[in-house]
A and B are shown apart, each in its own frame.
Chain A
């Protein structure tokens, strides 16, 4: 019972006209203090549902979550969330966006100290010279840096990341992963991240939890990732276990893509090398030959 974060028998059921839809069923996971865990699985398998229940943004149907000895009942600043889109207030500068939360959580600190906190995190994520710009003046990657700074600035007990780099190009994604992992290491914050990028999961995590396809998604497989820390992209990619683990994950995702027969229509082709599995109904195959 001494785990830092415990998800036990977590279940999410949505009522539908056709009867209850079980999205997640009896999901059990324990996360230790300071650990970085990735949840990997196909789009729509329920991984974001798990994360949003942990964030307190989605009601829990059954089961429960304990974080640092307390049962979670709702959303709060003790869990920092980074979404796929940065969700910044467009009429505030990057600095003001971060200050919004800092002023709430550090209301007993001096004005000067609060300013220093926001400046510190914005500078560390690489926005030292751009922190007084509005989101519209920032690139997609820079906006997501603000999102990361905002989450870390509140010193949350836990960091929840929902495909935070999903809409960035691969080089920018590499850069932001480095920013994230360095902040995580310095601040020693327990993190749970949802992703479908195999390379991303391998680079960041201590453990990768593979989820089976929904409905009734559950933990399918847990992979320990033991690359030495602090991690550097090149060293990780050179590690003798890297491609074996990568293979294992891709295999898992492919097996579970086929299990429900959902991908029978479209070929499951990972993009060259970088495997981000994403199902898109958008592209009809006109002439498969």
Chain B
């Protein structure tokens, strides 16, 4: 049995199916990226794994134990950082360590917190409050807090989506480095196929909702450590980039083409508003080319 296993998991809200028959097996130490559109149900999926939501049907096990509630064995990093604003970087992480390792001596806890602050390169900012940090730095605190709990699995819910492109790239490198060091099992949710390919061992696309489910796995067989520039030359990178993007766009398009509607586009020419306004008795009707256009347009059902 795989380390994390989801069997036919379904979840709906008020009768609207969000996830339907989701199956996923993840081995220990694997880095899996789940890629999908905004609104497809990615966050619902991670909340189920985290135990923050209960599925309507199906089963979920982590290390052969059924997932029923949230617990420190699963560390989560949210897109919005979720740090306590009145605590410093150090205190935010200490709070988590304090909860998870209550039996440790204070010195050991302290040392443990320092270690993870150093891991995300935040030692110079340890006494700062979240409001004094940039988005990228806040997300590092969040990552350090999750790792400091020493979870069995790390759940990343679009951790880098709120960051600008350059910060995002820097943090991708950092996530990659930290993963190489810790070799935790990671499930990362992202809306960027390129980010998934750069970081993960395997990409699993989430089809378009409602009633979304996971598509086929795309293994990323690019040797590590990966070089951001060099992978552009890798034929495997090019192919997987094309395949994943193609799969996602296709499944979205299939949904769109459900109904067709006939539309009329009137054949009128725009008026020149910079020309002087027509005098009395001037032209009052639109210029036409006498070819009423009719078009059949497929729309979203």
Pair A277/B165 contact, Cβ less than 8 Å = yes
Stretch at the interface among A28-36, A223-231, A267-275: A267-275
B252 at the interface (CB under 8 A from A): yes
Contact partners of B166 in chain A: CB under 8 A? 266, 269, 271, 277-280, 283
Q: When A104-B273, A170-B193 are in contact, do A246 and B165 touch as well, CB less than 8 Å? A: no
Quote the shortest CB–CB distance from B71 to chain A (angstroms): 30
User: How many of chain A's residues have a CB under 8 angstroms from any CB in B?
Assistant: 58
Report which of B167, B228, B245 forms a contact with A272, defined as CB distance below 8 A: B228
Stretch at the interface among B46-54, B105-113, B118-126: B118-126
* Interface residues as binary, B237-280 with A (CB distance below 8 Å gives 1, 0 otherwise): 11001100110110010001000010111101111111000000
B82 at the interface (CB under 8 A from A): no
B134 at the interface (CB under 8 A from A): yes
A78 at the interface (CB under 8 A from B): yes
Quote the shortest CB–CB distance from B237 to chain A (angstroms): 7
Contact partners of B270 in chain A: CB under 8 A? 77-78, 105-106, 154-156
Identify the closest chain A residue to B268 (Cβ).
A109
Pair A272/B273 contact, Cβ less than 8 Å = no
Pair A278/B191 contact, Cβ less than 8 Å = no
B232 at the interface (CB under 8 A from A): yes
Contact partners of B291 in chain A: CB under 8 A? none
Report which of A106, A119, A283 forms a contact with B170, defined as CB distance below 8 A: A283
Pair A233/B122 contact, Cβ less than 8 Å = no
Contact partners of B170 in chain A: CB under 8 A? 267, 269, 283, 285
Quote the shortest CB–CB distance from B6 to chain A (angstroms): 23
Identify the closest chain A residue to B272 (Cβ).
A78
A107 at the interface (CB under 8 A from B): yes
Identify the closest chain B residue to A154 (Cβ).
B270
Stretch at the interface among A82-90, A123-131, A206-214: A123-131
Contact partners of B123 in chain A: CB under 8 A? 286-287
10 nearest CB pairs, A to B: A272-B198, A273-B194, A128-B299, A113-B266, A287-B121, A169-B191, A108-B286, A269-B169, A274-B194, A283-B167
